[in-house]
């Protein structure tokens, strides 16, 4: 087992103070899939925001924005995340149930 010398220990302490802790960003958003509906159906977010969809239905769903992103089939409690790096309107839907639609407006 290796022990830290004073220089290594000092570097570790400085890194712990200066480097930000990894945690969810305050502006990240969640969308829930429940009863064949995306909730909320529309989000307004800023560039750089990550949106995470969680399937709360007991049947599979997908999250698809043509030419932009596509989730795998999400079973119950599965999640899909996408980080929006460009401004614009992102219409999306469930490819298994196309009547299910949503919109992300990125500023």
Domains and CATH numbers, the chain: 23-106 (2.60.40.420)
Please give the pLDDT value at position 11: 52
Closest CA to 51 of 37, 72, 36, 30: 30
Cα 78 from Cα 82, distance rounded (Å): 14
**Residue pLDDT, tens place only, 4-47:** 455 555 555 455 555 444 444 557 999 999 999 999 999 999 99
Contact 91, 69 (CB under 8 A): no
DSSP code string of 52-66 = EEEE-SSS-B--EET
Please state the pTM of the whole predicted model.
Answer: 0.76
Q: Are strands 101-106 and 88-93 parallel, antiparallel or unpaired?
A: antiparallel
Please give the pLDDT value at position 21: 43
**Residue pLDDT, tens place only, 54-76:** 999 999 999 999 999 999 999 99
In Å, the largest CA–CA distance within the chain is 63
């Amino acid at each position: 087992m290796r022990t830290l010398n004073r220089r290594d220990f000092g570097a570790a302490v400085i890194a712990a103070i200066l480097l930000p802790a990894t945690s969810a960003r305050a502006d990240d958003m969640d969308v829930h899939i429940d009863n064949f509906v995306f909730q909320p159906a529309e989000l307004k977010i800023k560039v750089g925001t990550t949106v995470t969809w969680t399937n709360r239905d007991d049947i599979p769903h997908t999250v698809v924005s043509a030419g932009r992103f596509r989730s795998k089939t999400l079973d119950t409690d599965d999640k899909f995340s996408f980080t929006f790096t460009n401004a614009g309107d992102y219409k999306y839907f469930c490819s298994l149930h196309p009547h299910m639609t949503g919109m992300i407006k990125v500023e």
